[in-house]
């Protein structure tokens, strides 16, 4: 077939290419380039060339039909992005290792097993509400910090049967440092290697050491005192290689635990923060959510069957993930020359699939900037909505995250009125995930 289409190239500086726009605001740069150049564009960061995908058809052709060509980027000699934090965990690993680990962990995240974890999620949510009550009527909170604390408790209790809330003052700033450094290593190829003792590199190493101490502490505590729990940590510690019979190394266990620990709470914290923020800005939508919750639950805590019936509440979460997807993009490497929709793509280049652009594409979403949960009461075009990714690498924890989010949102909305302290719109900040910049200050009142 003739390659008769050339990928548009974003205009940039002679030496640095598009580095300035990218370093200033990567999310805005991606959106501007999609708007100005189209659904598939090429851009350059110093010496590195990237492709930017923003259309469902292109994403299907690349990530579904050519998943063997658009592969995860992991170079143990020179890791970048979240691989700097996660090592060869489930999000970053490839090939046989990924297949084996995915197969091992899949049962933990099946819907039937996630349902059995609901009581632990309820306990975490109830404890948070009780702590809020003790602060008194009209107390001020930073919603982002509170949701991070809540989802961290949920993931550690459900997956590792422990709590790390006593270390939250160290964990939160360390994770923040790590994620900011990870995105910088992607958007700025001129970042100096970690062995160079720059202040940023030293800060990253210190933060990683803090998180590693927490992760290895969880592992060592379990080894010293097995609980007989059939949780994820127990499965990882007992797992043996089918051919050699060898157990996983401490490093492998660490990589998987830190992957679930980090990815399992950061994205859900952002989803809950953005959803509560959007509800506070749209009282008509909040009223409909409350009407559904009050009508079905009559003030009680929802169970698994109830969650299935809360269609509008689910639609609100979906619309929140469309407007503010917890993960803004997917990153792959083109491992050989290929063609997508008549465009020739070259081996060795990186491909960025913008979930944010996809979720704001005017061809698939009427008034894409408007918060309208009703659109999710109707079927959506395939691949136009991929908050958890797509294809064989779709997020293993999607059922877990949705059930957790729906349950915790229901608990909070049933009991609390959250009033925004700042009338201005909260900015989006991309630090791998899409976070509320500066957090979300609120005043809490009780229903």
Question: Per the annotation, where are the binding residues for heme?
Answer: 395
In a 3-state reduction of DSSP, which class is residue 10?
Answer: coil
Which residue, 429, 404, 422, 409, is CA-closest to 158?
404
Distance, CA of 354 to CA of 408 (rounded, Å) = 28
Distance, CA of 41 to CA of 227 (rounded, Å) = 52
DSSP 310: -
Distance, CA of 129 to CA of 412 (rounded, Å) = 8
In a 3-state reduction of DSSP, which class is residue 343?
Answer: strand
Contact at 8 Å (CB) between 205 and 194? yes
Distance, CA of 177 to CA of 144 (rounded, Å) = 16
Contact at 8 Å (CB) between 296 and 309? yes
Contact at 8 Å (CB) between 7 and 51? yes
Distances (CA, A) of 337 to 47, 56, 58, 80, 347: 19, 21, 16, 23, 5
Provide long-range contacts, Cβ within 8 A and 24+ apart, for 188-192.
Answer: 188/19, 188/22, 188/23, 188/45, 189/45, 189/46, 189/47, 189/48, 190/19, 190/46
3-state helix, strand, coil in the chain (%, to 5): 55, 15, 30
Question: What tokens appear for 438 in the block?
Answer: 């500066």
Q: Which residues are annotated as a binding site?
A: 395
Query: Which sign does the torsion angle of CA 14, 18, 24, 29 carry?
Result: positive
Q: How many residues does the chain have?
A: 447
| DSSP alpha helix (H) spans, 141-282 | 143-160, 168-187, 199-224, 232-238, 250-281
């Amino acid at each position: 077939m003739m390659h008769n289409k050339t990928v548009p190239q974003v205009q940039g500086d002679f030496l640095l290419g598009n580095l300035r726009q990218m370093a200033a605001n990567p999310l805005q740069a991606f959106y501007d380039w999609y708007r100005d150049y189209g659904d598939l564009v090429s851009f350059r960061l110093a010496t590195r060339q990237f492709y930017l995908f923003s259309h469902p058809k292109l994403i299907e052709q690349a990530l579904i039909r050519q998943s063997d060509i658009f592969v995860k980027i992991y170079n143990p000699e020179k890791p970048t992005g979240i691989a700097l934090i996660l090592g060869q965990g489930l999000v970053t690993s490839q090939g046989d290792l990924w297949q084996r680990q995915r197969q091992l962990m899949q049962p933990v995240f099946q819907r039937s097993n996630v349902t059995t974890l609901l009581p632990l999620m309820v306990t975490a949510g109830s404890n948070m509400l009780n702590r809020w009550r003790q602060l008194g009527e009209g107390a001020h909170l930073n919603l982002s910090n509170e949701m991070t604390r809540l989802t961290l408790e949920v993931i550690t209790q459900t997956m590792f049967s422990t709590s790390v809330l006593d270390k939250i003052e160290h964990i939160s700033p360390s994770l923040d440092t790590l994620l900011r450094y990870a995105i910088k290593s992607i958007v700025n190829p001129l970042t100096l290697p970690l062995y160079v003792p720059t202040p940023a590199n030293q800060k990253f190493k210190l933060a990683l050491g803090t998180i590693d101490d927490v992760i290895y502490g969880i592992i060592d505590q379990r080894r010293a005192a097995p609980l007989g729990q059939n949780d994820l940590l127990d499965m990882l510690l007992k797992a043996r290689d089918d051919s050699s019979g060898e157990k996983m190394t401490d490093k492998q266990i660490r990589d998987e635990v830190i992957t679930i620990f980090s990815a399992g709470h950061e994205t859900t914290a952002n989803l809950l923060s953005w959803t509560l923020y959007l509800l506070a800005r749209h009282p008509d939508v909040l009223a409909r959510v409350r009407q559904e919750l009050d009508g079905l639950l009559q003030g009680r805590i929802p169970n698994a069957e109830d969650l299935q019936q809360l269609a509008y509440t689910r639609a609100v979460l979906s619309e929140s993930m469309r407007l503010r997807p917890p993960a803004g993009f997917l990153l792959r490497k083109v491992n050989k020359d290929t063609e997508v929709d008549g465009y020739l793509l070259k081996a060795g280049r990186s491909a960025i699939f913008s979930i944010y652009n996809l979720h704001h594409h005017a061809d698939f979403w009427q008034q894409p900037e408007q918060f309208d949960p009703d659109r999710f009461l109707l079927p959506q075009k395939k691949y136009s909505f991929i908050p958890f990714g797509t294809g064989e690498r779709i997020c293993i924890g999607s059922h877990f995250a949705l059930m957790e989010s729906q349950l915790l949102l229901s608990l909070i909305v049933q009991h609390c009125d959250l009033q925004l302290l700042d009338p201005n719109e909260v900015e989006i900040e991309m630090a791998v995930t899409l976070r509320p910049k500066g957090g979300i200050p609120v005043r809490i009142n009780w229903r």
